[in-house]
A and B are shown apart, each in its own frame.
Chain A
Amino acid sequence: MSGATTTLSAGMLDQADVYLAGFEAVEKRWAGAPGWLRELRRGAMARFTELGFPTGKLEEWKFTSVAPIARTRFHPAQPDSRPVRLPAAVPAGAPHVVFLNGRYSQAQSNLGGLPPGVRVGSLAEFLKNGRAEEHLARYAAWREEAFVALNTALAEDGAFIEISRGTVLREPIYMVFCSTPSGEPAMLHPRNLILAGEASQAAIVEVYAGDAGGNYFTNAVTELLAGETAVIEHYKLQQESQEAFHVATLQVRQQRSSNFAAHSVSLGGALVRNNVNAVLDGDGAQCTLNGLYLVGGRQHVDTHTVLDHAKPHCGSREYYKGILDGRSSAVFNGGIVVRKDAQKTDAIQSNKNLLLSEDAVINTKPQLQIWADDVRCTHGATIGQLDSEALFYLRSRGIGHDRARHLLTFAFANDVLGRMKLEELRAHLERQMFACRR
């Protein structure tokens, strides 16, 4: 591990020690783990020390500086066994698996009433007695991505969901990650693995929430495999504390004729990076990425997506919208890769942004790499302000200025919420968005 001191700058020495010390502690705790897992972690830690935290010199990090993360001395999050109030987005009766400060909380989880054919629980348990070798870290690119490498090295728990062939889930499953503030900056590395078997059908909701004032760093990775003809909806609601750092990767592998949708709503956090990557790895797979980032104050939210069309006859639809207020900033980078064999690819990408303040900044960029010749790929990005004519129209009917602005802002986001099939979550988001800016 001596490489650490040569690749990280001198100012970050202490911080590198923190990650190394964390890794050694993990190794000790997992001394009895299967060899492949210990080797995976060791390899990932070595990779992280080689890569170091990304800098602005890297194209993928040009507009997002992770210096505030790199220079903070994070400690592993401490266990907290006090009961927490679950985020309002999680209905009490719905099946949910809860992690408090990164640890599985059996007491707060509710996994009763799940139908046969589905397993939900703690990844740590599964790793201890399961056969995760063929899936864990097989999809997310830990050799290329520093944060994924760090997660792979340090992750000890997260949600594991396995839906067997042909199982149709009528109720969504919630994965809930709650952080409670502690005296010093804490770091968490949740690792989730979702295996949806052939012809299965399910909705899965990932919620990240933190108490106000919590200064912590969530570095999450979720790997999801959608089997042949599986129909999977994934939702992510990010409402971390306004001081938190949140870096997350959702890595999806889709098999033949599967239909996958990832809906993302990003509200919280001081510095947020969301990576959403889907590999359409079977003929006829369909993928929808639908998202909204809503930022104010000095928040920064960066969304990087890659739709990798690896096989023919696949379709992807991507709709992301951003609403920026105050001195906030956001990045949208929409990658579409069409491999040589992926003929008849049909990809549409759209990113629209609404700036509510003159000080807000958005960087939006499509990034297309097309190696096949018989494809349809379209993309478009817009940046605009509230329509002053529409604002006057509403006011001329007696609707007050603030409420009119709010109504138009909400209307802008409405179609993103409208694409969410999960009625209860959509209704919750509508209420929440409407209330917070009334």
Chain B
Amino acid sequence: MLEITNLHAKVEDNEILRGIDLKVNAGEVHAIMGPNGSGKSTLAGVLAGRPIYEVTAGGVTYDGKDLLGLSPEDRAREGLFLAFQYPVEIPGVSNMYFLRSALNTGRRHRGLDELDAMDFLRMVRGKMKLLGMDESLMNRSVNEGFSGGEKKRNEIFQMAVLEPRLAILDETDSGLDIDALKVVAEGVNALRAPQRAIIVVTHYQRLINYIVPDFVHVLYNGRIVKSGDRQLALELEQKGYGWLGIPNGTLSPAAVAGAESVLAR
């Protein structure tokens, strides 16, 4: 489904991805782990088409198409979904309107009829329940005044409604208490399906205790330095990153600069 070959990307003058190779098949769950500044969020952002990143070498094919040649909205319409690490507040646009527009755009793209407000509400009700979302959230502005946990749940709720074929979860566990983490993980697990692939980007082991991956990759300094199965994640939890030759708490200067310039925005 997804094939990443020798992917290099930079933000401004900082090279962050330095040759990523990764193959993801339908039905698989991949976890991408690594210390801060290793390039995890950059990889997620490049796949979703975040404009700040510039791809300098390599390529990505998605269902045989050149993913990098598609606009962010076309990637979404083709079934790619990014759950944001920092979901954006959009005052003045209601959650309901936003999500229905997004859903209908995808449906039009697939040649399906648009859903009106009533059908839409009927369809999303069950999914709100699954993620413990209060129905009143639908009439509020997108993410405005949501708690950290509500924002993350809203991301997974959107994913449940849009039913992507490739979902990328960027640090979805950060800032969640254990109960919220379980709810979010359950939401993701409910979406596991033979035709769907999921990439879980995370710094910690915590989330993948609940969303059990088929493959685990360790990203460091813009490259995948180790791949394995779930055992690798367990080893990381016990030993930390040090045994892979990654100095704990030490980051490549370029990666730090890159991450900071993104966060400063």
B84–A393 CB distance below 8 A: yes
A336–B87 Cα distance when bound, in Å, is 39
B102–A398 CB distance below 8 A: yes
Which residue in chain A gives the minimum CB-CB distance to B87? A393
A21–B37 Cα distance when bound, in Å, is 77
- A387-B88, A411-B92, A411-B93 given; A396·B51 CB < 8 A: no
Contact of B105 among A390, A398, A414 (CB under 8 A): A398
Which residue in chain B gives the minimum CB-CB distance to A400? B73
B72–A396 CB distance below 8 A: yes
Q: Inside 8 A of A398's CB, which chain B residues have their CB?
A: 73, 76-77, 102, 105-106, 109, 162
Contact of A392 among B51, B81, B91 (CB under 8 A): B51
A415–B92 CB distance below 8 A: yes
Q: Is A344 interfacial (CB-CB < 8 Å)?
A: no
Q: Is B90 interfacial (CB-CB < 8 Å)?
A: yes
A394–B72 Cα distance when bound, in Å, is 9
A414–B76 CB distance below 8 A: no
A397–B88 CB distance below 8 A: no
Q: Inside 8 A of A128's CB, which chain B residues have their CB?
A: none
Q: Inside 8 A of A414's CB, which chain B residues have their CB?
A: 92
Contact of A397 among B71, B89, B109, B158 (CB under 8 A): B158
Cβ contacts B94-108/A at 8 Å (1 or 0 each): 000011011001100
Cβ contacts A6-19/B at 8 Å (1 or 0 each): 00000000000000
B73–A393 CB distance below 8 A: no
Q: Inside 8 A of B92's CB, which chain A residues have their CB?
A: 410-415
For this complex, into which size category does the number of interface residues on chain A fall? 20 to 34
Q: Is A388 interfacial (CB-CB < 8 Å)?
A: yes
Interface size, chain B (Cβ < 8 Å): 32
A392–B50 CB distance below 8 A: yes
Q: Inside 8 A of B71's CB, which chain A residues have their CB?
A: 395, 401
- A387-B88, A407-B93, A414-B92 given; A397·B102 CB < 8 A: yes
B90–A394 CB distance below 8 A: yes
A420–B215 Cα distance when bound, in Å, is 56
Q: Is A141 interfacial (CB-CB < 8 Å)?
A: no
A404–B141 Cα distance when bound, in Å, is 15
Q: Is A399 interfacial (CB-CB < 8 Å)?
A: yes
A407–B101 Cα distance when bound, in Å, is 10
Question: How many interface contacts (CB-CB < 8 Å) are there between A and B?
Answer: 77
Which residue in chain A gives the minimum CB-CB distance to B90? A390
CB distance from B124 to the nearest CB of A (A): 14
A262–B76 Cα distance when bound, in Å, is 43
The residues in A between 373 and 417 inclusive whose CB is less than 8 angstroms from any CB of B are: 387-390, 392-401, 403-404, 407-408, 410-415
The residues in B between 218 and 255 inclusive whose CB is less than 8 angstroms from any CB of A are: none
CB distance from B11 to the nearest CB of A (A): 14
Q: Inside 8 A of B162's CB, which chain A residues have their CB?
A: 397-398
- A401-B73, A411-B93 given; A393·B102 CB < 8 A: no
A179–B210 Cα distance when bound, in Å, is 69
Q: Is B82 interfacial (CB-CB < 8 Å)?
A: yes
Contact of A389 among B75, B82, B88, B98 (CB under 8 A): B88
CB distance from A260 to the nearest CB of B (A): 26
Q: Inside 8 A of A408's CB, which chain B residues have their CB?
A: 90, 93
The residues in B between 140 and 154 inclusive whose CB is less than 8 angstroms from any CB of A are: 141-142
Which residue in chain B gives the minimum CB-CB distance to A407? B93
A411–B49 CB distance below 8 A: no
A397–B90 CB distance below 8 A: no
A411–B81 Cα distance when bound, in Å, is 24
Contact of A396 among B82, B91, B99 (CB under 8 A): B82
Cβ contacts B43-64/A at 8 Å (1 or 0 each): 0000011110000000000000
A394–B93 Cα distance when bound, in Å, is 11
A399–B73 CB distance below 8 A: yes
Q: Inside 8 A of A394's CB, which chain B residues have their CB?
A: 90, 98, 102
Q: Inside 8 A of B49's CB, which chain A residues have their CB?
A: 392, 395-396
A174–B109 Cα distance when bound, in Å, is 44
A400–B51 CB distance below 8 A: no
Q: Is B265 interfacial (CB-CB < 8 Å)?
A: yes
A413–B81 Cα distance when bound, in Å, is 29
CB distance from B160 to the nearest CB of A (A): 13
A399–B105 Cα distance when bound, in Å, is 7
Q: Inside 8 A of A413's CB, which chain B residues have their CB?
A: 92
A182–B164 Cα distance when bound, in Å, is 58
CB distance from A387 to the nearest CB of B (A): 7
CB distance from A187 to the nearest CB of B (A): 39
CB distance from A229 to the nearest CB of B (A): 34
A413–B256 Cα distance when bound, in Å, is 38
A400–B265 CB distance below 8 A: no
The residues in B between 116 and 163 inclusive whose CB is less than 8 angstroms from any CB of A are: 141-142, 158, 162
A390–B102 CB distance below 8 A: no
Which residue in chain A gives the minimum CB-CB distance to B92? A411
CB distance from B105 to the nearest CB of A (A): 4
Q: Inside 8 A of A412's CB, which chain B residues have their CB?
A: 92
Q: Inside 8 A of B82's CB, which chain A residues have their CB?
A: 396
- A389-B88, A400-B105 given; A395·B73 CB < 8 A: yes
A414–B109 Cα distance when bound, in Å, is 29
A150–B189 Cα distance when bound, in Å, is 74
A410–B91 Cα distance when bound, in Å, is 10
Q: Inside 8 A of B89's CB, which chain A residues have their CB?
A: 390
Q: List 23 A-B contacts (CB under 8 A).
A: A390-B89, A392-B72, A393-B84, A393-B88, A393-B90, A394-B90, A395-B76, A396-B49, A396-B72, A396-B75, A396-B84, A397-B98, A397-B99, A397-B102, A397-B162, A398-B77, A398-B105, A398-B106, A398-B109, A399-B98, A399-B101, A400-B73, A407-B93
- Nearest 7 pairs between A and B by C-beta? A411-B92, A398-B76, A397-B102, A414-B92, A395-B72, A393-B88, A398-B105
Chain B residues in the interface with A (C-beta under 8 A):
48-51, 71-73, 75-77, 81-82, 84, 87-93, 98-99, 101-102, 105-106, 109, 141-142, 158, 162, 265
